């Protein structure tokens, strides 16, 4: 009972942070990371109590990366991942999940775990790239929507309803924020070069 109460409190903090970044294109990093630190620590503890290990991994990682970003520990980190590589990695993990489903059948705890862990990897990777300022807000939100959907079956199987509800709302907020961000973005310029004669 205590784990669920803590889980719901942490879920609320995460949703406030995700709503803040999703709906505010001019968000400030400090309040975003502080909310994520608190939510990450609380939901890590709650998820340990529920034996929901994808949630433990995601939330512990989220808290650590948030702390590092808050204290500017990534300022000397000059890693740049081209966006096509990010989408390629997401695609490979999605293909791995589909291959697992085809090989093992569409049901069963093993395939749900495979999909959940792939979603966990995508979540963690996108959050790290956002923390080091290597991914746009819109790309971050789209990747969050994809990985959030991938985690839903694992959370349902573990009866981790705070994390399940968190991810449903997280996906919705991410899609709304990404769509709004794309609509508000300035139009892309198309460069037309004349044909050589």
pLDDT digits (tens, 9 = 90+) for 152-164: 888 888 887 877 8
pLDDT of residue 137: 87
Question: Which tokens sit at 98?
Answer: 């589909």
pLDDT of residue 76: 64
Q: Which helix (H) or strand (E) holds 28?
A: none
pLDDT of residue 130: 85
* Rg, the chain, Cα only: 18
Q: pLDDT category, 175, cuts 50, 70, 90?
A: very high
Q: What average pLDDT does this structure show over 129-139?
A: 85
Cβ proximity of 127 and 62 under 8 Å: yes
Instruction: Report whether pLDDT(135) > 90.
Output: no
Instruction: Report whether pLDDT(186) > 80.
Output: no
Q: Which residues contact 196 (CB under 8 A, 6 or more apart)?
A: none
Q: What average pLDDT does this structure show over 115-126?
A: 83
Helix, strand, coil fractions of the chain, as percent rounded to 5: 75, 0, 25
In 3D space, the residue among 139, 143, 133 whose CA is nearest the CA of residue 80 turns out to be 133
pLDDT of residue 33: 93
DSSP, res 193: P
Distance CA 139, CA 131 (A): 13
Q: pLDDT category, 17, cuts 50, 70, 90?
A: very high
Q: pLDDT category, 30, cuts 50, 70, 90?
A: very high
pLDDT of residue 177: 92
Which residue stretches of 105-160 are H helix?
A: 109-131, 137-157
Distance CA 90, CA 81 (A): 13
Cβ proximity of 91 and 29 under 8 Å: no
Which of 13-27, 30-44, 154-168 has the least mean pLDDT? Answer: 154-168
């Amino acid at each position: 009972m205590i784990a669920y109460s803590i889980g719901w409190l942490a879920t609320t903090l995460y949703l406030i942070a995700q709503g803040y970044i999703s709906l505010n294109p001019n968000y400030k990093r400090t309040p975003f990371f502080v909310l994520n630190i608190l939510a990450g620590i609380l939901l890590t503890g709650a998820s340990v109590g529920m034996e929901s290990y994808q949630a433990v991994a995601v939330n512990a990682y989220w808290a650590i990366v948030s702390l590092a970003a808050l204290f500017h520990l990534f300022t000397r980190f000059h890693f740049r991942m081209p966006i096509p590589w990010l989408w390629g990695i997401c695609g490979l993990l999605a293909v791995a999940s589909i291959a697992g489903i085809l090989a093992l059948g569409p049901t069963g705890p093993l395939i749900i775990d495979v999909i959940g862990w792939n979603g966990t990897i995508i979540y963690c990777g996108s959050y790290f790239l956002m923390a080091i300022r290597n991914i746009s807000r819109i790309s971050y939100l789209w990747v969050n929507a994809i990985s959030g959907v991938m985690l839903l079956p694992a959370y349902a199987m573990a009866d981790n309803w705070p994390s399940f509800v968190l991810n449903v709302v997280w996906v919705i907020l991410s899609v709304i924020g990404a769509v709004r961000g794309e609509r508000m973005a300035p139009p892309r310029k198309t460069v037309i070069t004349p044909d050589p004669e």
